[in-house]
Amino acid sequence: MTTRKIEILVGTFIVLAVAAFLMLALKVANAGVSGSGESYVLYAKFENIGGLKVRSPIKVGGVVVGRVASIDLDTVYYTPVVKMEINEQYSNFPETSSVAILTSGLLGEQYLGLQPGFIDETVEILADGDSIQDTRSAIVLEELIGQFLFNRGN
Amino acid sequence: MISDKLQKLGRSTIDNVAGFGRSGLMLFGALVGKPDFRKGFPLFIKQLYVIGVLSLLIIVVSGLFIGMVLALQGYTVLVKFGAEGMLGPLVALSLLRELGPVVTALLFAGRAGSALTAEIGLMKATEQLSGMEMMAVDPLRRIIAPRFWAGVVSMPLLALVFNAVGILGGHLIGVDWLGVDAGSYWSTMQANVDLYQDVLNGVIKSFVFAVIVIWIALHKGYDAIPTSEGISRATTQTVVTASLTVLGFDFILTALMFGG
Amino acid sequence: MSDIMVDIQHLSFSRGDNLIYDGMSMQVRRGKVTAIMGPSGIGKTTLLKLIGGQLKPDNGKILFDGQDIPALSRADLYQARKKMSMLFQSGALFTEMSVFDNVAFPIREHTRLPESLIRTIVLMKLESVGLRGARDLMPAELSGGMARRAALARAIALDPELIMYDEPFAGQDPISMGVIVRLIKELNNALGLTSIVVSHDVTEVMSIADYVYVVAEKKVIGHGTPEQLRQDKSELVQQFLKGEADGAVPFHYRANAYEDDLMESVR
């Protein structure tokens, strides 16, 4: 009777809440790539990281393959070191690969663009904990403008 | 004169500390000890209905409108920078991190919290709690505990529903009315929202708020002066104290989770 | 089994700075109706709560069936309470349950009887207070007298040994008053209960009580069977029994001298 009605409504409430959670997890947060799966770690040193942040995406040709895990300063040379977590399924980057800090659109957020390099017998595949040597720093607008003015002066 | 003021301050401090102590003892008495599932579970389900299901409507309606307003306001600003593609993350992050848990807690305090305080205060005033105690049934276990657990379980669930409905409301306004591309609404959202960082932190917040609101509501009712004005004052205090405490804790939790 | 059910020895109790009982002693005999009378405001309800262990005295012993109630552990106190029951002035029925469920409540809480048996017991209890037909009503639909009788049915649901009535006659019309007087007497005799009746309705109490204590001024001022009490020499007792407005119990709440109070503003 009334107990049954109450129990049905409570059940509906729980189902609704679970559905809401699933929607938030899958449709909104897209839990697929965000560190829930297996991943491995690569490092890269930059001159300047610009506006790169922890959890910024790492993209190859626009596809997200991982995220920035942490950003620290090298204690010897005082250059930023970025720790990258890359999805296990993309584990075939050669050591000739390069990373650049790019901006999506004029005002968009900054991300790491990973460019896979060439492969021949002398080139090894990057393993967990390795560093990428070839890096390109963020473009800092003030420096760009400074260069532009300097060139015009010539 | 000054000594009078000092005395007043001292008295209110002592009263507050004593009240806090009594509320702690109440919760301790209600929750510590061997639970009896055979009797407790139906009571818990009943309260889940009273506290959770009956709050659902107000949560869904407010969630929808807040999502819609967020989209509308966000759009007018973002479109100036040509960044209306970022509408999705704006709506989603505002809801998941802040508005979902906080607004749910405030509505919950107003809807379920005040009702709980009044109910328990009236039970006390009409000697129902005393009567129960004389029947060798502990009112803390029989009345307080199921309400506490039901509140703590329902609020995070309500907040999840609020978030989901809010994001859909944002979609309704942003995509269907203002013409933001549906693909970019969802994909930028997915690129910027993280399951742990945003969704689960929001759930944790809402869980903390649930404990705060329900604890205050139950204590104010249990400690109410058993007269009609005592109960009305306790009900008001529940809403005011719970809301302010939630906002205070929201700042602390936000600072811990997202700041620094 | 001793003849004395409740034995209160040198009880002192105060609320804040306000001393309510000062070294009071009384005994309640098994199977009898013991009445506690006194002017309102002397804490008669407090006394029942002390016996029930809801309040703790400052001093003294309250022996219930040989156990000292204030000294019991929580678990033992709850065990002891299963043997007693209390009828509150308001009835204290649970407002969200029907009359039937109210009476079934203590049975369901403390036993694991099948529902069919519970139904039989509840109907028997309701029959004994004459409310079998009202079992599906909600407490809000009952009159004051009916609510008190329903509460009485609930109080006897588990066949307690001691039942305490808090002002059972207050605010009742003469007919329901008569009904309750009869019920208390009948239940006491039929079920072999021990009853404590707290009241200030002199005539009703004198008609059913086997033994009466008159409490005033923080202690027992007179006790005995109703006949003995009528012969009592004490001025206080006589004032109370006859209902005189002023006498040994002053009409005025204690205050400063009248003249001083009035002159306060002039000064």
What DSSP string describes C209-267? -SEEEEEETTEEEEEE-HHHHHT---HHHHHHHHT-SSSSS-SSPS-S-HHHHHHTTT-
Cβ B141 vs Cβ C109: under 8 Å:
no
Contacts of A107 in chain B (CB under 8 A): 81-83
Domain, as residue range, for B206: 40-258
Q: What is the pLDDT of residue A34?
A: 46
- How many residues are listed for chain C in this entry? 267
Task: From B243, B260, B256, B254, select the one nearest B94 (Cα to Cα).
Answer: B254
The verdict on residue B212 lying in a domain is yes
Q: How far apart are CA B52 and CA C149, in angstroms?
A: 36
User: Could you read off the pLDDT of C227-251 as tens digits, one per residue?
Assistant: 888 887 777 777 777 776 666 566 6
Look at A24 and B48 and tell me if their CB atoms are within 8 Å.
no
- How many residues are listed for chain B in this entry? 260
Chains B and A physically touch (3 or more Cβ atom pairs below 8 Å): yes
Search chain B and give the residue with CA nearest A108: B83
Task: From C216, C165, C156, C218, select the one nearest C52 (Cα to Cα).
Answer: C165
Q: Is the pLDDT of residue A35 over 50?
A: no
User: Could you read off the pLDDT of C17-53 as tens digits, one per residue?
Assistant: 788 888 888 888 888 889 888 777 777 788 888 888 8
Could you give the number of structural domains in chain B?
Answer: 1
Look at A20 and B189 and tell me if their CB atoms are within 8 Å.
no
Q: How far apart are CA B232 and CA B238, in angstroms?
A: 10
In this structure, what DSSP letter does residue B84 have?
G
Q: Read off the pTM.
A: 0.79
Q: Is the pLDDT of residue A44 over 70?
A: yes
User: Could you read off the pLDDT of A114-143 as tens digits, one per residue?
Assistant: 888 888 888 888 888 888 888 888 777 777
Q: What is the pLDDT of residue B212?
A: 94
- Smallest Cβ–Cβ distance between A25 and the set B186, B192, B195 belongs to B195
Residue position matching structure tokens 């942040």:
A53
The verdict on residue B76 lying in a domain is yes
Search chain B and give the residue with CA nearest C51: B134
Q: Cα–Cα–Cα angle for B118, B121, B126, nearest 5°?
A: 120
Q: What is the helix (H) or strand (E) element at residue C193, kind and residue range?
A: none
- Smallest Cβ–Cβ distance between B45 and the set A10, A35, A108 belongs to A10
The verdict on residue B183 lying in a domain is yes
The verdict on residue B99 lying in a domain is yes
Size of interface B-C (CB pairs under 8 A): 51
Smallest Cα distance from C102 to chain B, Å: 11
Q: Is the pLDDT of residue A33 over 50?
A: no
Average pLDDT, chain A: 82
Write down the H helix ranges in chain A: 2-22, 141-153
Establish if B244 touches chain A: CB-CB under 8 angstroms. Answer: no
User: Could you read off the pLDDT of B53-100 as tens digits, one per residue?
Assistant: 999 999 999 999 999 999 999 999 988 887 888 888 899 999 999 999
Section B21-44 average pLDDT: 83
User: Residues 86..125 of C with a Cβ closer than 8 Å to B: which?
Assistant: 86, 88-90, 92-95, 105-106, 109-110
Establish if C67 touches chain B: CB-CB under 8 angstroms. Answer: no
Cβ B103 vs Cβ B162: under 8 Å:
yes
User: Would the CA dihedral through A141, A146, A147, A149 be positive or negative?
Assistant: positive
Q: How confident is the model at residue B113 (pLDDT cuts 50, 70, 90)?
A: very high
Spatial neighbors of B249 by CB under 8 A, at least 6 apart, are B208, B209, B212
Chains contacting chain A through 3 or more C-beta pairs under 8 A: B
Section C102-130 average pLDDT: 89
Q: What are phi and psi of A10, to 5 degrees?
A: -65, -40
The residue ranking higher by pLDDT, C232 or C8, is C8
Chains A and C physically touch (3 or more Cβ atom pairs below 8 Å): no
- Smallest Cβ–Cβ distance between A20 and the set B48, B163, B190 belongs to B163
Question: In chain A, what are the domain boundaries?
Answer: 1-31, 36-148
The verdict on residue B29 lying in a domain is no
Q: Is the pLDDT of residue C200 over 70?
A: yes
Look at B130 and C54 and tell me if their CB atoms are within 8 Å.
yes
Amino acid code (one letter) for C48: L
Q: How far apart are CA B112 and CA B154, in angstroms?
A: 11
- Smallest Cβ–Cβ distance between A6 and the set B49, B81, B197 belongs to B49
Q: Is the pLDDT of residue B158 over 90?
A: yes
User: Residues 132..161 of B with a Cβ closer than 8 Å to C: which?
Assistant: 132-138, 142
Q: What is the pLDDT of residue B75?
A: 92
User: Would the CA dihedral through C20, C23, C29, C32 be positive or negative?
Assistant: negative
ipTM of the complex: 0.79
Q: How confident is the model at residue B240 (pLDDT cuts 50, 70, 90)?
A: very high
The verdict on residue B19 lying in a domain is no
Distances (CA, A) of C120 to B242, C33, C161: 46, 28, 21
Contacts of B136 in chain C (CB under 8 A): 78-79, 81-82, 106, 109-110
Q: What is the pLDDT of residue C247?
A: 63
Distances (CA, A) of A51 to A61, A103, A138, B33, B191: 20, 9, 8, 53, 17
Q: In DSSP terms, which residues pair with C164 in a beta bridge?
A: C86, C196
The verdict on residue B35 lying in a domain is no
Q: How far apart are CA C201 and CA C173, in angstroms?
A: 13
Q: In DSSP terms, which residues pair with C12 in a beta bridge?
A: C59
The residue ranking higher by pLDDT, B154 or C261, is B154
The residue ranking higher by pLDDT, A38 or B10, is B10
Contacts of C84 in chain B (CB under 8 A): 134
Cβ B121 vs Cβ B223: under 8 Å:
no
Q: Is the pLDDT of residue C16 over 50?
A: yes
Contacts of C92 in chain B (CB under 8 A): 126-128, 130-131
- Smallest Cβ–Cβ distance between A55 and the set B42, B46, B194 belongs to B194
- Tell me which range, A65-74, B139-148, B237-246, is most confidently predicted by mean pLDDT: B237-246
Establish if B213 touches chain A: CB-CB under 8 angstroms. Answer: no
Distances (CA, A) of A5 to A2, A10, A12: 5, 9, 11
Q: What is the pLDDT of residue B55?
A: 92
Chains B and C physically touch (3 or more Cβ atom pairs below 8 Å): yes
Mutation for A interface: B44, B47, B53, most A CBs within 10 A: B53
Smallest Cα distance from B75 to chain C, Å: 49
Section C81-107 average pLDDT: 88
Contacts of B163 in chain A (CB under 8 A): 20, 24
Look at C92 and B127 and tell me if their CB atoms are within 8 Å.
yes
Task: From C199, C225, C194, C195, select the one nearest C212 (Cα to Cα).
Answer: C225
Q: What is the pLDDT of residue C248?
A: 59
In this structure, what DSSP letter does residue C143 have?
-
Section B147-174 average pLDDT: 93
Section C178-189 average pLDDT: 85
Amino acid code (one letter) for B190: Q
Search chain B and give the residue with CA nearest A19: B161
The verdict on residue B15 lying in a domain is no
Q: What is the pLDDT of residue B205?
A: 94
- Tell me which range, B155-164, C34-43, C92-101, C220-229, is most confidently predicted by mean pLDDT: B155-164
Section B139-162 average pLDDT: 92
Section B27-41 average pLDDT: 79
Q: How far apart are CA B47 and CA B118, in angstroms?
A: 15
Look at C52 and B134 and tell me if their CB atoms are within 8 Å.
yes
Mutation for B interface: A4, A5, A12, A13, most B CBs within 10 A: A13
Q: What are phi and psi of C197, to 5 degrees?
A: -115, 120
Contacts of B30 in chain C (CB under 8 A): none
Spatial neighbors of C3 by CB under 8 A, at least 6 apart, are C29, C30
